[in-house]
């Protein structure tokens, strides 16, 4: 998978289309990921102690990799990942600005 935790991505489909968020978790087997603030689902949390109230927390739901695009951390544009050989290493580069991205 070309996207990793901590990357900023743009949502290109679904109800959060056009919004940006940071990748919280990548689920490579499912080709899905969790993005902060995107595709929020309400989850009821039971009280942990007696006397406490249960609460509703919002958790991001996994979205498909095909519904997002990577935003380059260097130039801030929506981009695709390319590769370049640097000595013995293959590094990821932004196809827009050609700069290395981690």
Q: Return d(Cα 76, Cα 7) in angstroms, integer.
A: 11
Identify the residue among 63, 65, 70, 72 touching Zn ion (CB under 5 A): 72
Q: Return d(Cα 43, Cα 60) in angstroms, integer.
A: 10
By beta-carbon proximity to Zn ion, the closer residue of 19 and 96 is 96
By beta-carbon proximity to Zn ion, the closer residue of 40 and 69 is 69
Identify the residue among 74, 78, 81, 92 touching Zn ion (CB under 5 A): 74
Q: Return d(Cα 21, Cα 93) in angstroms, integer.
A: 20
By beta-carbon proximity to Zn ion, the closer residue of 25 and 100 is 100
């Amino acid at each position: 998978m070309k996207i990793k935790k901590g990357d900023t991505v743009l949502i290109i489909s679904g109800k959060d289309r056009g919004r940006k968020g940071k990748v919280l978790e990548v689920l490579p087997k499912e080709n899905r990921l969790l993005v902060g603030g995107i595709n929020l689902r309400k989850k009821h949390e039971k009280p942990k102690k007696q006397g406490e109230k249960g609460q509703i927390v919002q958790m991001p739901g996994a979205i498909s990799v095909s519904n997002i695009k990577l935003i380059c951390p260097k130039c801030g544009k929506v981009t695709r990942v390319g590769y370049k050989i640097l000595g013995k290493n293959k590094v990821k580069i932004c196809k827009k600005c050609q700069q290395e991205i981690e």
